[in-house]
Structure 1
């Protein structure tokens, strides 16, 4: 059985204070490093314009590329290097949806679960999500991308605006868990037909809302270096434990610990350290 993780790989510019660096990114990229250690039977499916973009994945034998005419590009700017909870983002907002026809023929025969990682509203049309639901396996979704629409144009890229939309209720219906942050929760609310809602809040910890609400403390990190991908890392660590039949409390505390280790280094979680 295989965990199938789907979503764009990105070409990113990271700006921390006055220091710039170019990185590969995207939720599926960051999550693959966590799954490589804690849930080895996974397959990452990404959409982008070049297969060269997957060379930095931890195991390229576990990556399949859906070639499109464009690639997601993000500028992640942290204006205060001493407060990495504050991030400004721009994106090119490519319209390169992952379609049912893209996935037919590349999905494994036996699937444990799906993880959906949209980076903007174009990535997973409702028809694609409905197709994945027909497999009748657990589905975990990151919410952020579904809410992203272009805002003000800045030098050819766009500020990221978050906005709810009517189809979201149907898209999320039946999911085992959805992941979002406090700001996104304030936009969409909590009234969805899902088993769990996991709400992250950076250094202030997270909440897991199911039958009850569980509060998870953030694991203190004295050497905060790079928070890009921290939420994606948390999500993957949480899913790895839930699929191993751990409780939500155990999964949340484990995810908090792994996310804390990730931010001590530039780039994704370093499973070899």
Structure 2
């Protein structure tokens, strides 16, 4: 049985104070390092135009590339190097959707679950989400990408703002777990037909809602904060790796908080 992690890989520019560095990014990229260590039976599926990018993954034999005519590009700007909770983000809004037909020939026969990581609203058409739901396995979904749209009032090409849309409830219906942060929760609410809602809040910790019960998870203190890009993705993968091994919500959240804190001390992946 295999866990399938699906979503774009990116070319990123990370700006921390006066330091700039280009690197590989995207939720699937950051998560692959966590699953490689804590849930080894996984397959990553990415969409991009640059097939050589898989050389950056921890195990290129566990990556399948859906070749498209563009690659996502993000700028992650932390203007205050001492406050990684605050980030300005820009994107090229690549329109390279992952289609049902892209997946039909490459998915393995036996699947444990899906981890879905959209980076913008184009990445996963409703038909693709419905196709993945038809496997009747757990689906863990990051909400943020579905909310990203161009902020044309700031910059019609690259600026990002977050907003909900009418079809979001249909997309999330029947998903096992959704992951979002407190700001995203303030935009879309938390009234969805899902088993677990995991809400992160940076240095203020996280909370997990299941069966009308809320479990609060403290952030693990980090003394040497280096790079926050991908921390939410790292938390998500760590949490999933424990839940799939029958750990409790609380223990899974505490483990995810610990791994995310360790990621904070490293530039790039976990």
TM-score, length-scaled by structure 2: 0.98
Offset at residue 195 of structure 1 (A): 0.3
Cα distance between partner residues in 2 of 1:75 and 1:265: 18
Instruction: Report Cα offsets for 1:136-157 as digits up to 9, x if no partner.
Output: 0000000000000111377784
Cα distance between partner residues in 2 of 1:187 and 1:210: 20
RMSD: 1.0
Q: Which runs of 4+ in 1 moved over 4 A?
A: 153-156
Unaligned 5+ runs, structure 2: none
Q: State the partner residue of 2:197.
A: 197
**Structure 1 residue 222 corresponds to structure 2 residue 247:** no
Instruction: Report Cα offsets for 1:234-266 as digits up to 9, x if no partner.
Output: 000000000001110010000000000011010
Cα distance between partner residues in 2 of 1:110 and 1:168: 28
Matches within 5 A, 1:229-248: 229-248=230-249
Cα distance between partner residues in 2 of 1:108 and 1:154: 43
Instruction: Report Cα offsets for 1:24-82 as digits up to 9, x if no partner.
Output: 00000000000000000000000000111111100000000000000000000000011
Count the aligned residue pairs.
269
Cα distance between partner residues in 1 of 2:231 and 2:183: 16
Cα distance between partner residues in 2 of 1:23 and 1:242: 30
Check conservation: 2:199, 2:208, Cα contact below 8 A.
yes
Unaligned 5+ runs, structure 1: none
**Structure 1 residue 83 corresponds to structure 2 residue 115:** no
Cα distance between partner residues in 2 of 1:156 and 1:36: 38
Q: State the partner residue of 1:266.
A: 267
Q: State the partner residue of 1:165.
A: 165
